């Protein structure tokens, strides 16, 4: 299979399998515009991200074979869970954010699906405080404003499934 | 960080979250509140097809039988075991005391339940309620009333106008005091819009027909459908297009004569308009026919799925349909006639194999059973009250 060469922002070069390269809408556009023998520059992608993306994609292909799931059907639960089981524990929140941006920039739909799922799973049972940390947002409510929401929707703030 | 993501990504992540979590997220930060309360996001979340549930409205014995019965709303999973998903507390007396003793579930759309207080007396009292986020809106009094127009029969329908992103309640009113030419066209209509919070008259329906009792409607293909009685003793299906606000006649299956309890419905996959009708054979035995309209508005495309004979050892139990399940099966109530039974039997009928399976609803009397999906609709409506 033909290999496509890319260079990341920190100068490292990677040779991608053609089928992986074509999953990236961004790379595909570049290939259509220029010759396939040229190296494609990816100034918004770091080398550690590229390594991860290749790792992800290899897993996706493996799961495709295992579950017999075609590309467009990858929203299936088992597929998302298997991907999560493999990668979730070694991915910090910050790394997950970076990868989300990068995969979005590269336009790799199937990986975006999986990463959004990972992000959502991390959020699900968190308390409000933990969510603030996870999302990296400022606490911009006054105590009175926050208390009003909690009172209006008290049922949403209780429950055994919410982690401390 | 999350609010600096492109909208597509933050919407993607958030739309995967359960509703309780999303409500908590509204108190995380103000930008997040504004993302979640946005009507575009609410629709994105809805489109993600979360679990199909069933809303059961029933009367059940309290924990101790000596304590009498209570009215209960429960959500169940639409699976073979009919597992309970959760019980809903609806403090209806915070809002209004129904003169008929209880509200009726008149329609469900996108996680909103339209309740009507019109079982016997016409209270002209309606509520749009989202049990998932526990918010509700009380509708103002409609325009066609006994005081303004004299005696009437009425029926409501509930649906979503995709063009204006608005939920609407349509009320058909058959006026009984009309004379001369007006008496030939006795049915008028008015529409309530959630966005404007008010009723607006649509005037005459424009097709000679009558509503004669509170009749379940079906919202399908952007239209609300009712079975109506045509003045010359035939029936047809009246369809109201929410976008163009126009009425149209859809003919019933060729060769059928609809009966008093005929009603429209929608198949479990949401693809076809369906019709439940009864007919009597020459021995006066009632049969239930279930029809499906394969091509919308094409009379010739009505296809009969099944004819169900009366059930029970003496063939005296008439099945009453509730709704279709996602699987294509139909929920039916089997109740002995002429005899008040505290407990009826709820069954799930497979129209293809004709097999019926009992569904255990824990000794409750089932008022209504409809498919339901959780949503955030009403979260962005300022005057919605907690309930």
ipTM, 2 dp: 0.88
Q: What does the pLDDT look like over B111-130, one tens digit per residue? A: 999 999 999 899 999 999 99
Residue B97: the pLDDT is: 85
Q: What does the pLDDT look like over A121-156, one tens digit per residue? A: 988 888 888 888 888 788 899 999 999 999 999 999
Note the pTM of the prediction, 2 decimals.
0.90
Question: Contacts of residue B49 in chain A, CB cutoff 8 Å?
Answer: none
- Closest CA relative to residue A28, chosen from A43, A6, A57: A6
- The yes-or-no verdict on residue A164 having pLDDT over 70 is no
- Residue contact B133–A141, C-beta within 8 A: no
> What span, in angstroms and rounded, lies between the C-alpha atoms of B215 and B173?
12
- Residue contact A156–B6, C-beta within 8 A: no
Over residues B328-333, mean pLDDT:
94
Which residue's entry shows tokens 């569904």? B359
Residue B343: the pLDDT is: 53
- Is B37 or A36 the better-scoring residue by pLDDT? B37
User: Which of B6, B7, B13, B383 has the most A C-beta neighbours within 10 Å, making it the best mutation to test the interface with A?
Assistant: B13
> What span, in angstroms and rounded, lies between the C-alpha atoms of B366 and B59?
7
Backbone angles phi, psi at A37, to 5 degrees: -85, -15
Q: What does the pLDDT look like over B87-116, one tens digit per residue? A: 998 876 567 888 998 999 999 999 999 999
Residue B270: the pLDDT is: 92
H-only helix segments in chain B: 7-15, 19-25, 30-36, 39-47, 146-149
Task: Among B8, B9, B24, select the one facing A131 at the smallest CB separation.
Answer: B24
Q: What does the pLDDT look like over A22-65, one tens digit per residue? A: 888 888 888 888 777 778 888 889 999 999 999 988 888 888 88
Residue B274: the pLDDT is: 97
> What span, in angstroms and rounded, lies between the C-alpha atoms of A70 and A18?
18
| Strands B135-138 vs B126-130: parallel, antiparallel or unpaired | antiparallel
- Residue contact A120–B16, C-beta within 8 A: yes
| Cβ neighbours of B335 (radius 10 Å) | 19
Task: Among A116, A119, A137, select the one facing B29 at the smallest CB separation.
Answer: A137
Over residues B284-311, mean pLDDT:
91
Residue B233: the pLDDT is: 66
End-to-end CA gap in chain A: 50
CB B337 within 8 A of CB B317: yes
| Strands B69-77 vs B84-88: parallel, antiparallel or unpaired | antiparallel
HSE at residue A17, side-chain half, CA atoms within 13 A, is 10
Element (H, E) at A62: helix A47-67
Q: How far is CA B19 from the centre of its chain?
A: 22
- Residue contact A120–B30, C-beta within 8 A: no
Judged by a CB distance cut-off of 8 A, whether residue A25 touches chain B is no
Over residues B215-244, mean pLDDT:
91
Q: What does the pLDDT look like over B347-378, one tens digit per residue? A: 999 999 989 998 988 778 889 999 999 999 99
Residue B37: the pLDDT is: 94
Question: Contacts of residue A141 in chain B, CB cutoff 8 Å?
Answer: 27, 29-30
Q: What does the pLDDT look like over B247-288, one tens digit per residue? A: 999 999 987 877 767 899 999 999 999 999 987 778 777 789
- Residue contact A150–B23, C-beta within 8 A: no
3-state secondary structure of A7: strand
- The yes-or-no verdict on residue B8 having pLDDT over 90 is no
Question: Contacts of residue A125 in chain B, CB cutoff 8 Å?
Answer: 21
- The pLDDT > 70 percentage for chain B reads 93
- Categorize the per-residue pLDDT at B340 as very low, low, confident or very high, splitting at 50, 70 and 90: low
- What secondary structure letter does DSSP report for B253? P
> What span, in angstroms and rounded, lies between the C-alpha atoms of B315 and A61?
59
CB A76 within 8 A of CB A67: yes
Judged by a CB distance cut-off of 8 A, whether residue A75 touches chain B is no
Task: Among B8, B24, B134, select the one facing A128 at the smallest CB separation.
Answer: B24
| Cβ neighbours of A30 (radius 10 Å) | 18
DSSP state letters, B280-343:
E-TT--EEEEEEEESSTT-GGGEEEEEEE--BSTTS-BEEEEEEE-TTS-EEEEEE-TTS--S-
CB B228 within 8 A of CB B205: no
Instruction: List the beta bridge partners of residue B229.
Output: B210, B235
- Is B244 or A39 the better-scoring residue by pLDDT? B244
- Closest CA relative to residue B13, chosen from A134, A41, A90, A13: A134
Question: Contacts of residue B10 in chain A, CB cutoff 8 Å?
Answer: none
- Closest CA relative to residue B24, chosen from A142, A163, A153: A153
Q: What tokens does B112 get?
A: 């909103």
Q: What is the mean pLDDT of chain A?
A: 85
Question: Contacts of residue A126 in chain B, CB cutoff 8 Å?
Answer: 21
- Residue contact B2–A128, C-beta within 8 A: no
A154-A157-A163 Cα angle (round to 5): 165
- The yes-or-no verdict on residue B222 having pLDDT over 90 is yes
Question: Contacts of residue A139 in chain B, CB cutoff 8 Å?
Answer: 29
| Cβ neighbours of A39 (radius 10 Å) | 13
| Strands B235-241 vs B223-229: parallel, antiparallel or unpaired | antiparallel
Residue B202: the pLDDT is: 97
**What is the C-alpha R_g of chain A?**
20
CA-to-CA dists, residue B343 to B88, B191, B210, B329, angstroms: 22, 37, 34, 22
> What span, in angstroms and rounded, lies between the C-alpha atoms of A4 and B387?
60
A94, closest residue in chain B (CA to CA): B1
- Residue contact A128–B28, C-beta within 8 A: yes
3-state secondary structure of A117: helix
Residue A153: the pLDDT is: 92
| Cβ neighbours of B120 (radius 10 Å) | 10
Residue A151, by phi and psi: left (phi above 0), alpha (psi -120 to 50) or beta?
A: alpha
| Cβ neighbours of B44 (radius 10 Å) | 16
**What is the C-alpha R_g of chain B?**
22
- Counted across chains A and B, CB pairs separated by less than 8 A come out at 79
DSSP state letters, B255-270:
T----TT-EEEE-TTS
3-state secondary structure of B125: coil
> What span, in angstroms and rounded, lies between the C-alpha atoms of A97 and B282?
72
Q: What is the mean pLDDT of chain B?
A: 89
- Residue contact B386–A152, C-beta within 8 A: yes
Enumerate residues 107 to 146 of chain A having a beta carbon within 8 A of any beta carbon in chain B.
112, 116-117, 119-120, 123-128, 131-132, 135-141, 146
Task: Among B25, B31, B134, select the one facing A131 at the smallest CB separation.
Answer: B25
End-to-end CA gap in chain B: 34
Residue B92: the pLDDT is: 65
Q: Which residues contact B146 (CB under 8 A, 6 or more apart)?
A: B122, B152
């Amino acid at each position: 299979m033909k290999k496509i060469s890319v260079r990341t922002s920190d100068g490292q070069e990677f040779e991608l399998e053609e089928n992986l390269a074509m999953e990236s809408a961004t790379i595909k556009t570049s290939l259509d515009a220029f010759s396939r023998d040229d190296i494609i520059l990816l100034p918004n992608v770091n080398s550690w991200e590229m390594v991860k993306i290749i790792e992800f994609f290899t897993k996706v292909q493996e799961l495709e074979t295992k579950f017999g799931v075609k590309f467009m059907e990858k929203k299936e639960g088992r597929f998302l869970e298997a991907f999560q089981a493999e990668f979730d524990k070694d991915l910090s929140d910050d790394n997950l954010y970076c990868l989300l941006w990068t995969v979005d920039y590269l336009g790799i739909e199937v990986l975006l699906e999986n990463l959004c799922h990972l992000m959502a799973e991390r959020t699900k049972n968190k308390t409000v405080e933990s969510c603030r940390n996870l999302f990296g947002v400022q606490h911009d409510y006054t105590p009175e404003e926050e208390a009003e929401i909690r009172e209006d929707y008290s049922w949403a703030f209780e429950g055994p499934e919410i982690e401390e | 960080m999350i609010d600096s993501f492109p909208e597509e990504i933050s919407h993607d992540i958030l739309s995967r979250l359960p509703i309780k979590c999303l409500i908590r997220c509204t108190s995380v930060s103000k930008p997040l509140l504004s993302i979640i309360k946005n009507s575009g996001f609410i629709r994105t979340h809805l489109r993600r097809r979360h679990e199909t549930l069933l809303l059961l409205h029933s009367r059940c014995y309290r924990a101790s039988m000596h304590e009498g019965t209570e009215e209960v709303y429960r959500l169940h999973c639409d699976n073979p075991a009919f597992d309970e998903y959760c019980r809903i507390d609806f403090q209806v007396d915070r809002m209004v005391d129904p003169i008929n003793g209880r509200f009726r579930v008149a329609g469900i759309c996108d996680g909103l339940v339209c309740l009507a207080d019109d079982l016997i007396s016409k209270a002209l009292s309606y509520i749009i309620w989202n049990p998932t986020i526990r918010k509700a809106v009380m509708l103002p009094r409609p325009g066609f009333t006994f005081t303004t127009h004299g005696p009437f029969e009425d029926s409501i329908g509930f649906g979503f106008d995709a063009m204006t992103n608005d939920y609407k309640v349509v009320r058909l009113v058959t006026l009984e005091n009309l004379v001369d030419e007006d008496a030939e066209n006795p049915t008028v209509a008015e529409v309530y819009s959630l966005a404007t919070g008010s009723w607006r008259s649509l005037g005459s329906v424009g097709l000679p027909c009558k509503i004669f009792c509170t009749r379940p409607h079906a919202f399908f293909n952007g239209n609300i459908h009712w079975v109506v009685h045509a003045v010359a003793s035939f029936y047809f299906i009246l369809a109201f297009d929410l976008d163009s606000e126009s009425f149209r006649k859809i003919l019933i299956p060729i060769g059928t004569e609809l009966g008093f309890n005929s009603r429209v419905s929608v198949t479990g996959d949401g693809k076809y308009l369906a019709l439940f009708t009864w007919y009597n054979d020459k021995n006066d035995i009632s049969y239930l026919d279930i029809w499906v309209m394969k091509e919308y508005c094409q009379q010739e495309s009505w296809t009969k799925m099944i004819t169900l004979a009366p059930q029970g050892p003496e063939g005296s139990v008439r099945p009453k349909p509730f709704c279709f399940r996602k699987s294509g099966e139909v929920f039916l109530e089997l109740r002995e006639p002429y005899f008040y039974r505290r407990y009826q039997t709820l069954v799930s009928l497979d129209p293809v194999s004709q097999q019926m399976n009992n569904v255990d609803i824990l000794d409750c009397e089932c008022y209504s059973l409809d498919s339901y999906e959780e949503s955030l609709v009403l979260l962005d409506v300022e005057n919605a009250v907690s309930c």
